[in-house]
């Protein structure tokens, strides 16, 4: 794990003007080879460490210069051969940086000019690199700020996790304020409410232990901690929220030390990132999902906070999905890094970012209070369905997606003015209900002459049978 901390200083950034041919293939060689590579098509959230992590396989990197708001960067390799491998590879196969395919060409410059005479060791660099090995507790921007600020005014902090680094930026590029990056000169960079990584647990502090027979009872009201900068305003968040105590479904009884869960035992052709989201979103917000290329049938799931991982382990560990038993445990990783993206057996991507999806169900205290933290059961609660959808329509939906059909159906009475309906579906057993939810949760139902589709939402019911 490495952290970059930048202190107060006036830094003049000099940008290179480089001309590149947009065509790939042979056109990329119209510019004479150079150790400096011009990178295009970057996502807005990319930082220097992402470029180094993705491109150091081509050779040692001397320097990286970001071009803010242009989604471009310059990368200087130590040798022309390394730059040539990068450009040639990018012309023949996709090269991903932070989960997005990038494009490469030689720069007209042979060397990146370091700003503020950075080559002069007497001038100093205002960015301090901290290497922290085997941390005993999560390292966040708050921790680093507390350590560093008494020595000098801290401007920005960026945390990234990797094995090595060959370049040092002279200015940190921060696009959001959260536990892994923070620009203290721009407090407005906070992410949208409820979208921050490792954000405050909306459901309050996790109970220290579970009572095996207490499901359905409501635990005491738990206060939301007031000493966090992530707490929402009193207008949007009640001081207290309550939620039912879950019934323990596995031997796990500890407290997760990470907001990332590792899931193994996944069916190779029937499970993908979206279906993992459909299942795990019942227990907390999902930030990212990534399948591990080196360990088939295994994925990392980054959730909104460590308490969501606790709930997922409690309820989903050891359940059967598509004939395979899931193993859900806490990952040693503290974040999911979009590297080694590949194609799954069903043709979908091995990595997907869900941070901004509207299907997350814990993005506000109001949303969270409506969720029932319920272990898998044979009865599913469905809602947000258009009134024109019938029992036969839902049965056909199950048949079309090759999942088991329900044996009993119940529709709740709706108000005449209601635009959607809800009800219950009972299946032969819990495993069938889990598979249907995994496949059909968030299915888009389109109706004739309708402008927008309805998103079918499913969750496990508190009822054991109809």
Q: What is the pLDDT of residues 213-248, one digit of tens each?
A: 333 333 333 333 333 333 333 333 333 333 333 333
Both 296 and 390 in one domain: the answer is no
Any domain includes 273: yes
- Per-residue pLDDT band for 140 (boundaries 50, 70, 90) equals confident
Burial class (CB in 10 A: 0-12, 13-18, 19+), 175: middle
C-alpha angle with apex 175: 171 to 180, nearest 5 degrees?
85
The SS3 call for residue 429 is coil
State mean pLDDT over 139-149: 83
State percent of the chain over pLDDT 90.
Answer: 42
CATH code for position 421: 3.30.70.330
Domain end, chosen from 329, 363, 397, is at: 363
Contact 68, 115 (CB under 8 A): no
- Sequence-distant contacts of 412-415: CB under 8 A, at least 24 apart: 414/387
Indicate whether 141 pLDDT > 50: yes
Is the CB of residue 31 less than 8 Å from the CB of residue 106?
yes
Separation CA 59–CA 41 (nearest Å):
21
- Residue 64 has, within 13 A of its CA and on its CB side, a CA count of 26
pLDDT higher than threshold 60 for residue 201: no
**What are residue 71's phi and psi, to 5 degrees?**
60, 35
| Alpha-carbon span 448 to 194, nearest angstrom | 34
Q: Smallest Cα–Cα separation from 2: which of 166, 124, 185, 151?
A: 166
Indicate the residue among 363, 395, 412 that finishes a domain: 363
Name the nearest CA neighbour of 296 among 325, 336, 323, 263. 263
Question: Quick check: is 224 in a domain?
Answer: no
Residue 311 counted as domain residue: yes
Res 161: pLDDT? 63
Residue 106's DSSP bridge partners are 37
Residue 1, H or E segment:
none
* Sequence-ordered strand ranges (E) for 265-400: 286-291, 298-303, 320-321, 324-325, 327-330, 351-353, 379-385
DSSP label at 424?
E
Q: Are residues 349 and 438 in the same domain?
A: no
Place of tokens 């929402």: 232
- Low-confidence winner among 65-79, 316-330, 338-352, 388-402 (lowest mean pLDDT): 65-79
Same domain for 396 and 436: yes
| CA dihedral (31, 34, 36, 40) positive or negative | positive
Q: Which of 23-27, 108-112, 361-365 has the lowest mean pLDDT?
A: 23-27
Task: Verify that 402 and 347 share a domain, yes or no.
Answer: no
Q: Tell me: the pLDDT tens digits for 271-290?
A: 999 999 999 999 999 999 99
Quick one: 340 and 385 in the same domain?
A: no
306 and 378 together in one domain: no
Query: 281 lies in a domain?
Result: yes
pLDDT at 115: 63
Q: 267 with 356, same domain?
A: yes
Of 304, 329, 363, the one marking the end of a domain is 363
| For residues 43-47, average pLDDT | 80
**Cα within 13 Å of Cα(326), Cβ side:** 27
Q: Which two tokens stand for residue 435?
A: 């598979």
285 and 307 in a single domain? The answer is: yes
C-alpha count within 13 angstroms, C-beta hemisphere, residue 262: 13
pLDDT of residue 212 exceeding 80, the answer is no
Terminal Cα-to-Cα distance of the chain (whole angstroms):
52
Structural domains of the chain, count: 2
| Cα–Cα dist 77/62, whole Å | 5
Cα dihedral 455, 461, 464, 466 sign: negative
Residue 209 included in any domain: no
Q: What is the domain range of residue 397?
A: 374-460
How far apart CA 356 and CA 342 sit, in angstroms, is: 22
Q: Are residues 378 and 286 in the same domain?
A: no
pLDDT tens by residue, 250-264:
344 456 678 999 999
User: Is 322 inside any structural domain?
Assistant: yes
Measured between alpha carbons, how far is 322 from 338 in angstroms, rounded to an integer? 26
In terms of domains, do 269 and 348 share one? yes
CB-CB neighbours of 67 under 10 Å: 18
427-465 per-position pLDDT tens digit: 999 999 999 999 999 999 988 887 788 999 999 998 888
Q: 380 and 337, same structural domain?
A: no
The reported pLDDT for the residue numbered 16 is 41
- Asked whether residue 95 is domain-assigned, the answer is no
pLDDT attached to residue 211: 35
Task: Give the contacts of 141 (CB within 8 A, at least 6 positions apart).
Answer: 157, 159, 177, 178, 179, 180, 181, 182
Count of residues in the chain:
466
pLDDT band for position 3 (cuts 50, 70, 90): low
Residue from 251, 332, 250 nearest 292 by CA: 332
| CB proximity list for 286: less than 8 A, separation 6 or greater | 276, 277, 280, 301, 302, 303, 304, 354, 357, 360
Q: Which of 97, 162, 157 is CA-nearest to residue 127? A: 157
Same domain for 270 and 359, yes or no, is yes
Give how far the C-alpha of residue 244 lies from the chain's centroid of Cα atoms, to the nearest Å.
26
Percentage of residues of the chain with pLDDT beyond 70: 73
Helix (H, G, I), strand (E, B) or coil at 154: strand
Contacts of 103 (CB under 8 A, 6+ apart): 24, 39, 40, 41, 90
Are 152 and 8 in contact by the 8 Å Cβ rule? The answer is: yes
- Note whether residue 23 is domain-resident: no
């Amino acid at each position: 794990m490495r952290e970059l901390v930048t202190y107060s200083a006036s830094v003049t950034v000099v940008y290179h003007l480089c001309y590149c041919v947009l065509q790939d293939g042979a056109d990329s060689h119209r510019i004479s080879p150079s150790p400096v590579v011009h990178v295009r098509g970057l996502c807005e959230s990319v930082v220097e460490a992402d470029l180094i992590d993705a491109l150091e396989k081509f050779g040692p990197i001397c320097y990286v210069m970001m071009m803010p708001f242009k989604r471009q960067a310059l990368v200087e390799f130590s040798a022309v051969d390394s730059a040539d491998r990068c450009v040639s590879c990018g012309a023949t196969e996709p090269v991903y940086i932070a989960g997005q395919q990038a494009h490469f060409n030689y720069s007209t410059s042979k060397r990146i000019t370091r700003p503020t005479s950075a080559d002069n060791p007497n001038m100093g660099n205002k960015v301090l690199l901290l290497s922290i090995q085997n941390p005993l507790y999560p390292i966040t921007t708050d921790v680093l700020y507390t350590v560093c600020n008494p020595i000098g005014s801290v401007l920005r902090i960026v945390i990234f996790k990797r094995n090595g680094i060959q370049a040092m930026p002279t200015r940190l590029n921060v696009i959001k304020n959260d536990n892994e990056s923070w620009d203290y000169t721009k407090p407005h960079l906070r992410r949208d409410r409820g979208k921050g990584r490792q954000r405050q647990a909306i459901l309050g502090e996790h109970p220290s232990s579970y009572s095996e027979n207490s499901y359905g009872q409501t635990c005491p009201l738990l206060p939301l901690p007031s000493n966090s900068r992530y707490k929402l305003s009193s207008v949007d968040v009640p001081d207290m929220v309550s939620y039912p105590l879950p019934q323990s479904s596995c031997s796990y009884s500890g407290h997760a030390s990470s907001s990332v869960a590792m899931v193994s035992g996944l069916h190779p052709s029937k499970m993908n990132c979206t279906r993992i989201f459909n299942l795990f979103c019942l227990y907390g917000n999902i930030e990212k999902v990534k399948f591990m290329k080196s360990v088939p049938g295994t994925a990392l799931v980054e959730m909104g906070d460590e308490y969501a991982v606790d709930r997922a382990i409690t309820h989903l560990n050891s359940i059967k999905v598509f004939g395979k038993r899931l193993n859900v445990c806490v990952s040693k990783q503290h974040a999911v890094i979009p590297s080694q993206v590949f194609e799954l057996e069903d043709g979908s991507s091995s990595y997907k970012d869900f941070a901004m999806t509207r299907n997350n169900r814990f993005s506000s205290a109001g949303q969270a209070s409506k969720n029932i933290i319920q272990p898998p059961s044979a009865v599913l609660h469905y809602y947000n369905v258009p009134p024109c959808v019938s029992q036969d329509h839902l049965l056909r939906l199950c048949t079309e997606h090759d999942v088991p059909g329900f044996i009993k159906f119940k529709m709740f009475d709706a108000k005449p003015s209601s635009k959607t309906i809800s009800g219950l579906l009972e299946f032969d057993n819990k495993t069938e209900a889990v598979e249907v939810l995994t496949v059909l949760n968030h299915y888009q139902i389109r109706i004739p002459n309708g402008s927008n589709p309805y998103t079918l939402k499913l969750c496990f019911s508190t009822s054991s049978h109809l």
